[in-house]
């Protein structure tokens, strides 16, 4: 087993593909981590904005959470229908571009790419942020920790989907289990205490309110709370990853994820109100997260508290994983329509679209470095992309049913239409509420990405047009090429090049650029070693051409000579033989070939269709 085999797993055959597919049990960690972990920061983000209202603010979290849950329900029904209609994976991109046209598709593609990258960055930075608040000594290493986790996730994901599922199974179910337990026990206590439970560990006291309630504030709270919904679309995009019956398994997984998330959001909101738990200032001393207060209030600070907190940390850090599962699938779908480089289509040794993973890791690392791994600075960029994609996907589904009217298609149109309207309004709310805090970056990136993808598409279309074959091959004009052999000194390397040249053509010329005043020496060696051999065989030797070089440049006179030769022989191809030393150690590379590489580059840049470069390798 090679090093790569051990780290990344053995390569997989195409025929093994089925075996890599997963069921709902593994599907929840793989496609649901993102959505479920949002419960750990969505309510917190909303409650933080309510701090200025003091104890009054807590009252408002319940209606806002229920608004989000209703929205989540609409999105759920909408995506169930998408899974039905697109058994091969109907992410927002596919649905929007197939039903609303290319531009809507690109809009969805750009929104989703940004969303997945931000999800990876936010997940990692939130996890590291939690670890760092537990161990403040690690504070200076925040960014290094973020990048380390990014690397770890990448290695795990390069092993493939199934192994990934196993790796994330335990923390996910630990997280869901503890949260459900806390909510269940809390609910019973609230009922027994007739709505006024006594907390085991009392949450910190709230400072008195300093601001008045306003619609604008509630809108911002709603916008922040909506981050709890990010990641919901993952399942519909990855239907193909499920085992047979594919659609049924996918829908079951989606149902379980959404149900869990709804229970979490409702439970957290209701318990916060009953236990009088409010957010604390994340930048002030004595900061404590909502979930930490809640677990302490319901079950105290025993061993269970630490298990639950650890599972939250793990799930936050690992929620980035959804991006690893979905981003490469998305870029592949986009690349298949020629809007992204074709490397995203190539599957690697473990049946993954490796280049998509590389791109995701690169951009995530860039974001983490740019924002220093600080979650607070990343969050405002976040929800826009997700909600834009929701909207486009559901609007696309409306068109889908309109075009494919089946039984009950009107009801389906209404469901998707309501979803589209609700998420569309939410998109506008989030954009306006968070514009100045960072949403403008996303709003700027989306059109830039669209421009980029259009340019890629245009380029591929042009290449296809230019290289399309319209007629059978033309077999005329099969004269051997003119061959040029640049000679610096006469060595076995130049001898090998000349010998190869003589195999290709009987019109060969050696060219020496006389930049270092050693032309005479080269001529002597040429006569002694080449001309004599040809004379002995009664053949005409090839010409040796000496090019003067007043500026001591070696390459430009050579390139000029080749271009002149090409211009004078419009019916011939010119082959230039460039010897290259192949070295064993990397550092030896710096000792050779600089001129050869530069010559190849110059010939490519200044040359044309009729100039061919031939590398003659010399192995030391």
In the region spanning residues 103 to 132, those forming contacts with a copy of itself, defined by CB under 8 A, are: none
591 in contact with a copy of itself (CB under 8 A) = yes
CB of 452 to a copy of itself, least distance (A): 9
Per CB under 8 A, 480 contacts a copy of itself:
yes
- Count of other CB atoms within 10 angstroms of residue 590: 9
475 contacts a copy of itself (rule: CB under 8 A): yes
Residue 331 corresponds to which tokens in the numbers above? Answer: 């870029």
Task: Tell whether residue 552 is a contact of a copy of itself (CB under 8 A).
Answer: yes
| Of residues 325-364, those binding a copy of itself (CB under 8 A) | 341-343, 346-347, 349, 351
Nearer of residues 429 and 493 to a copy of itself, judged by Cβ: 493
Kindly report whether the peptide bond that precedes residue 25 is cis, defined as omega within 30 degrees of 0. no
Does 503 bind a copy of itself (CB under 8 A)? Our answer is yes
Question: Binding marks (x or -) toward a copy of itself, 448..467, rule CB under 8 A?
Answer: --------x--xx-xx--xx
Burial group, residue 563, by CB count within 10 angstroms (0-12, 13-18, 19+): middle
The CA-based angle 494-526-577, given to 5 degrees, is: 30
14 forms part of the interface with a copy of itself (CB under 8 A): yes
Binding to a copy of itself by CB under 8 A, coded x per residue (else -) over 565-584, reads: --------x-x----xxx--
Q: Name residues whose C-beta falls within 8 Å of residue 274's C-beta, 6 or more positions apart in sequence.
A: 186, 190, 195, 196, 197
Could you say which DSSP state residue 206 is in? P
Which of 402/499 has CB closer to a copy of itself?
A: 499
**CA dist 300 → 187, 269, 287, 296, 306 (Å):** 15, 19, 18, 4, 10
Figure out which of the listed residues 214, 404, 532, 597 binds a copy of itself, where binding follows CB under 8 A: 532
Among 214, 336, 588, 597, binds a copy of itself (CB under 8 A): 588
- Binder to a copy of itself among 139, 411, 479, 597 (CB under 8 A)? 479
Closer CB to a copy of itself, 189 or 329, in the complex: 329
Number of residues that bind a copy of itself (CB under 8 A): 84
Shortest distance, position 494 Cβ to a copy of itself, whole Å? 8
User: Diameter of the chain by CA atoms?
Assistant: 114
Place of tokens 């006469």: 490
Which of 428-437 are b and which e, b meaning 16 or more Cβ less than 10 Å from the residue's Cβ? ebbbebbeeb
CB of 605 to a copy of itself, least distance (A): 8
Selected binder of a copy of itself within 6, 15, 192, 198 (CB under 8 A): 15
| Binding residue (CB under 8 A) for a copy of itself from 1, 6, 192, 469 | 469
Q: Which of 194, 286, 406, 474 is in the footprint of a copy of itself by CB under 8 A?
A: 474
List binders of a copy of itself among 224-263 (CB under 8 A): none
User: Residue 331's closest CA among 28, 12, 94?
Assistant: 94
Counting contacts by CB under 8 A, is residue 11 touching a copy of itself? yes
Interior CA angle at 330 toward 324 and 332, to 5°?
A: 105
602 counts as binding a copy of itself under rule CB under 8 A: no
- Round to whole Å and give the CA distance between 88 and 82: 11
Q: How far apart are CA 169 and CA 164, in angstroms?
A: 9
- Name the minimum Å distance from CB 332 to a copy of itself: 12
Write the CA distances from 22 to 31, 107, 160, 384, integer angstroms. 11, 30, 12, 30
Q: Is 617 in the site for a copy of itself (CB under 8 A)?
A: yes
Report the nearest approach of a copy of itself to the CB of residue 497 (Å).
10
């Amino acid at each position: 087993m090679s090093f790569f085999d051990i780290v990344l797993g053995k390569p997989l055959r195409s025929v093994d593909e089925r075996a890599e597919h997963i069921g709902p049990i593994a599907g929840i960690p793989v496609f649901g981590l993102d959505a479920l972990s949002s419960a750990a920061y969505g309510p917190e983000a909303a409650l933080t904005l309510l701090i200025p209202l003091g104890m009054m603010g807590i009252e408002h979290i319940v209606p806002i959470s229920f608004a989000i849950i209703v929205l989540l329900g609409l999105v759920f029904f909408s995506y169930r229908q998408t899974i039905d209609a697109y058994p091969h994976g109907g992410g927002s991109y596919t649905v929007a571009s197939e039903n609303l046209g290319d531009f809507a598709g690109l809009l969805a593609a750009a929104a989703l790419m940004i969303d997945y990258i931000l999800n990876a960055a936010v997940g990692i930075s939130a996890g590291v942020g939690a670890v760092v608040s537990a161990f403040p000594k690690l504070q200076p290493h925040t960014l290094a920790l973020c990048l380390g986790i990014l690397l770890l996730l990448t290695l795990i994901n390069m092993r493939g989907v199934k192994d990934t599922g196993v790796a994330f199974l335990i923390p996910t179910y630990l997280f869901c289990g503890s949260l459900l337990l806390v909510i269940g026990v809390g609910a019973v206590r609230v009922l027994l205490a007739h709505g006024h439970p006594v907390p085991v560990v009392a949450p910190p006291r709230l400072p008195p309110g300093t601001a008045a309630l306003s619609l604008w504030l509630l809108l911002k709270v709603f916008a922040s709370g909506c981050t709890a919904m990010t990641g919901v679309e993952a399942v519909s995009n990855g239907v193909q990853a499920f085992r047979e019956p594919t659609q049924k398994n996918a829908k079951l997984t989606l149902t379980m994820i959404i149900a869990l998330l709804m229970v979490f959001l409702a439970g957290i909101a209701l318990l916060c109100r009953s236990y009088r738990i409010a957010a604390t200032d994340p930048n002030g001393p004595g900061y404590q997260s909502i979930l930490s207060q809640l677990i302490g209030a319901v079950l105290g600070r025993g061993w269970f508290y630490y298990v639950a907190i650890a599972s939250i940390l793990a799930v936050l850090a690992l929620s980035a994983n959804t991006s690893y599962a979905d981003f490469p699938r998305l870029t592949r779908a986009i690349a298949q329509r020629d809007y992204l480089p074709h490397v995203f289509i190539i599957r690697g040794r473990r049946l993954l679209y490796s280049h998509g993973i590389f791109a995701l890791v690169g951009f995530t690392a860039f974001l983490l470095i740019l924002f220093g791994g600080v979650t607070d600075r990343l969050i405002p960029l976040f929800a826009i992309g997700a909600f834009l994609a929701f909207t486009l996907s559901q609007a696309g589904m409306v068109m889908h049913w309109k075009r494919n009217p089946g039984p009950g298609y009107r009801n389906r149109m209404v469901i998707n239409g309501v979803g589209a309207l609700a998420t569309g309004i939410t998109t506008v709310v989030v954009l306006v509420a968070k514009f100045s805090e960072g949403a403008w970056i996303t709003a700027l990136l989306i059109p830039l990405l669209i421009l980029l993808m259009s340019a890629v598409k245009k380029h591929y279309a042009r290449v296809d047009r230019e290289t399309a074959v319209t007629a059978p091959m033309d077999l005329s004009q099969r004269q051997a090429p003119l061959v040029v052999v640049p000679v610096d000194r006469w060595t076995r390397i130049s001898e090998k090049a000349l010998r190869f040249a003589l195999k290709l053509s009987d019109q060969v010329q050696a060219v020496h650029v006389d930049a270092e005043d050693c032309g005479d020496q080269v001529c002597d060696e040429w006569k002694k070693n080449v001309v004599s051999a040809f004379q002995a065989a009664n053949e005409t030797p090839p010409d040796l051409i000496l090019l003067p070089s007043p500026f001591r440049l070696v390459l430009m006179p050579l390139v000029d000579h080749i271009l002149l030769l090409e211009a004078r022989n419009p019916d011939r191809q010119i082959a230039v033989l460039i010897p290259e030393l192949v070295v064993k150690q990397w550092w030896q590379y710096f000792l050779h070939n600089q001129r050869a590489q530069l010559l190849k580059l110059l010939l490519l840049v200044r040359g044309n269709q009729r100039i061919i470069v031939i590398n003659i390798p010399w192995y030391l």
